[in-house]
Amino acid sequence: MNKKLKQYLRQALQSILFWVLAMVLFGFFRFYGLESQEGVIVTEEFKRANQFSAIFPLFVLTGFSFGIIVSFIEFTFEKFISKKLPIGLSVLLKTFVYFTFLIGVSTGILEIAGEFYQIHLNNDRGWWRENKMFRIILLYVFLSSLIFSFIKIAVDKFGKGVFIKMLLGKYRKPQEEKRIFMFLDLKSSTTIAESLGHYKYSELIQDCFYDINDVVPKFDAEIYQYVGDEVVLNWPYKKGLSNNNCVALFFEFQRTLNTKHEYYQNKYGLTPQFKAGLHGGKLMVAEVGVVKKELAFHGDVINTSARIQSECNTHNVPILISRSLKEDLNIENVYKIKALGNILLKGKKKEIGIYTLQ
């Protein structure tokens, strides 16, 4: 619950900062220097009430209020509604909710402005139908929402902090970084696919990936790729070690699937189980492609992580980690650790030590 609250508060803070900035900019564009424009006649009452320095707090309050509302709507849709509706219908419903709340916020702001500046502003029922200023605000909020959505999609795709680095061109030339990788794969996937058929199997994978997406933000993980029934996750090395995030995510995902045991049994006649392989170290990160540009990771860490995961079936265990990663983690008092010895992974010349955890 604490992690979900932190996740929401982080989203709320980002939303508030964006909308405060957006509404202050709107006030700046709309009113700054209005009285000095040639051909524009401004009454003393209007000038007194609409100097930018005087109305600045009003737009801050508007942005703050709308930021809180937007974060709540986004969080609610993401958790309870978006998964159940087609994208188009979800967008239409969300737009209607935004519109309704925008009317409410604007009505309240007009009331406050009228009282504070001692001027009459019409905010009677239905005022927004004929108010041209409201139409301008509505268009501005719509365009700002598109920008906000674009930023959110870009951050979700590339990972927190990575989008800014890409804008600044950090990865135009390959950069060396230290990261932890996890290859997370559905157990007995071939048997399950044959049993369910391709349509039902695809629905199962969708449900599992929805569940992993609920878990990922709690442990500061980044999703690198979806490959069939496999998810590739990664962490900057220190984030992956912090609170044993890279290991704790796997067991939280297991707990989530077990909690939804009844749902999966009723719909698919089984409860999905996943296996994971983890390894960490230095690798190269670079932008690749022009169309559908993305970040690519190159290095032995990725291959080793994938090979370690493939050993889960051999040893009949759900999770395996490399010795080097195990030694950097602080897991002795949290998990039962069992050494499985040194093994020679496919394509490797040197043996590597592996461990499983409970």
Task: Summarize pLDDT for 182-222 with one digit per residue, the tens.
Answer: 999 999 899 999 999 999 999 999 999 989 988 998 898 98
Structure tokens at 273: 């189980």
Determine if the pTM surpasses 0.85: no
Output the pLDDT for position 41.
62
Residue 78 DSSP one-character state: I
Mean pLDDT confidence for 266-279:
94
Output the pLDDT for position 54.
65
Answer with the residue of higher pLDDT: 70 or 156.
70
Answer with the residue of higher pLDDT: 343 or 182.
182
CA dihedral 190, 192, 195, 197 (to 10 degrees): -80
What confidence tier does 57 reach under pLDDT thresholds 50, 70, 90? confident
CB under 8 Å to 131, separation ≥6 — which residues? 122
DSSP string, 280-312: EEEEEEEEE-STT-EEEEESHHHHHHHHHHHHH
Output the pLDDT for position 70.
85
Cα–Cα distance for residue pair 61/272, rounded to 1 Å? 48
Q: How far is residue 211 CA from its own chain's centroid?
A: 14
**CATH classification code of 170-357:** 3.30.70.1230
What is the identity of the amino acid at 131? N
Output the pLDDT for position 51.
57
60 burial (CB, 10 Å; 0-12 / 13-18 / 19+) is: middle
What confidence tier does 277 reach under pLDDT thresholds 50, 70, 90? very high
221 burial (CB, 10 Å; 0-12 / 13-18 / 19+) is: buried
The domain limits of the chain are 2-158, 170-357
What confidence tier does 60 reach under pLDDT thresholds 50, 70, 90? confident
pLDDT over 90 percentage in the chain: 38
Output the pLDDT for position 180.
96
Q: Render pLDDT for 314-339 as a digit per residue (tens, 0 to 9).
A: 999 999 999 999 999 988 888 999 99
Residue/partner pairs of 8-17 with CB below 8 Å, 24 or more apart: 8/71, 8/75, 11/71, 11/74, 11/75, 12/67, 12/68, 12/71, 12/72, 12/75, 14/71, 15/67, 15/68, 15/70, 15/71, 15/74, 15/148, 16/63, 16/64, 16/67, 16/68, 16/71, 17/67
In which residue are the tokens 């700046």 written? 28
Residue 128 DSSP one-character state: G
Structure tokens at 255: 């707990």
